[in-house]
Amino acid sequence: MENSYSHLVHIQSRDELRLYELIPNVVWIFDLDRHGWWWGNQAAIDFWGLKTVDDLINKDLSGDTQGAKDRTAQTFELAARQGLTIDPWTTYPNGKPKTLHMMHRAVLLGPQKHRGIIAYINEEVNLGETPENLLLVEAMRYTNVLVTSFTFDGAMVIENPAATEAYKQINTAALRDGITEFTARFADPAEGARCLEKAIAEQGGRWTHRMQTSAGLRDHTLDIRLTRHPLSGDFLILMSEYDVTSLHKALQDARDAQEKLQQMAYYEALTGLPTLHLFQDLAAAHIAHAQRKQEKLAVMFIDLDGFKTVNDTYGHEIGDQVLKEVAQRLKSSLRVSDLLARSGGDEFVALQLDIRSKQDALSFAEKMTSILARPVATHQGNIPIGASIGVALFPDHGHDLKTLINAADKAMYQVKRNGKNGVSMAQ
């Protein structure tokens, strides 16, 4: 205890409290470890209708509930951390309830350093007798913000009309085991249980969760604070809920629009393949890696044979269909790690990783010509196509992408000159 509360003032004897007698307001000191009063000034003795301070110290508290003891312990812990607590507290002098504003400080008492709290009482609280309190009640009644107080066990204490309307579908009598009025509001009750546990552990906070309301699933920001019951003094959860569904939707729409713009910037609209710009960025990284690992790469420049005739004969709609089919066939023939882009018109460029020899690259390119030689089925019939492919190797034919593409392009034109629909290796 000394390590935990070493920062607290230690009142070693009651002789140190003489100056407190000069305070006209009620002041008493409560000993938590003995669960009884340790001292009180004359105003405190009068408050309880007693004659001496010994009467106060010896007052019988055996009828106090465990809940009352727990509240006192919670007050001590809060005061020990915060330095001072201020909250309503209901007492029962002469058996009649009296709600008071009480300030508490945590101290250590006597030679044994018992835990103690000094209570300072400076006014009675008569809720509803002042216009300010009535105005606050009216504000809570008519606000659109959902406000509810719960016990630490998740049972509802009171809610404003907005909260009642939002959760009117919850049948408290039908709640299953483990589901409380607090957790039943969440789309995922288990998530609600974790939220309640976190709120208690961290003494409040602000989080956004998906809630199951009478209007359906909604995103609510929950502003949770710890408070006290004005009559019993029990610690409660006070939760205000703000519907942020529209805001979240607007933010998601903005993210979707940004992703769409990014997709448009990096991926070609017709075929869905990476743009040449993205291809160049990714290829540069692969070439640098291959150089470090002393590996070979193959760059293939692919040009469709007779594509202009397809457009002239069947129209651009059929031409676009052919390009999309070609892109899909090329993509399917490559490994996931390889790269493919449409460089423009009917031209494609591919980068194949981890090539062991020239023959490997040529064999792969020949396989691609076979795949592309199959006619493309359209609503106007089967459209015959073919492809001429030039191949260049890293590092044999260049050490950067531009040089390799140029070398593959020249090799592709050699195929064109030799009758098309074939493969040629760069020289």
Cβ atoms within 10 Å, residue 3? 5
The 8-class DSSP code of residue 18 comes to G
Region(s) of the chain under CATH 3.30.70.270: 267-425
For residue 245, count CB atoms less than 10 angstroms from its CB and return exposed for 0-12, middle for 13-18, buried for 19 or more: middle
Query: Taking the domain 131-247, which CATH number applies?
Result: 3.30.450.20
pTM of the model: 0.44
Distance linking the first and last C-alpha atoms of the chain: 85
Q: Look-up: residue for tokens 């469709």?
A: 304
* H/E stretch holding 43: helix 42-47
Domain 267-425 superfamily per CATH: Reverse transcriptase/Diguanylate cyclase domain (3.30.70.270)
Region(s) of the chain under CATH 3.30.450.20: 9-124, 131-247
**Count of helix runs (H) and strand runs (E) in the chain:** 12, 18
| C-alpha closest to that of 237 among 143, 156, 175 | 156
Catalytic pick among 87, 303, 305, 346: 346
Catalytic status, residue 253 = no
The tens-digit pLDDT sequence of the chain (427 residues) is 445 788 999 999 999 998 888 888 899 999 999 999 999 999 999 999 999 999 999 999 888 877 678 778 878 988 888 888 877 677 778 777 677 778 899 999 999 999 999 999 865 555 445 555 555 666 676 688 999 999 999 998 888 888 888 998 888 767 877 899 999 999 999 999 999 999 999 989 999 999 999 999 999 999 999 988 876 778 899 999 999 998 878 877 778 777 776 666 678 888 989 888 889 988 999 999 999 989 999 999 999 998 989 988 999 899 999 999 999 999 998 888 899 999 888 999 999 998 888 999 999 999 999 999 999 999 888 999 999 999 999 999 999 999 999 999 999 999 999 989 999 999 8
Domain 9-124 superfamily per CATH: PAS domain (3.30.450.20)
CA distance 154 to 52: 43
27: tokens are 């002041």
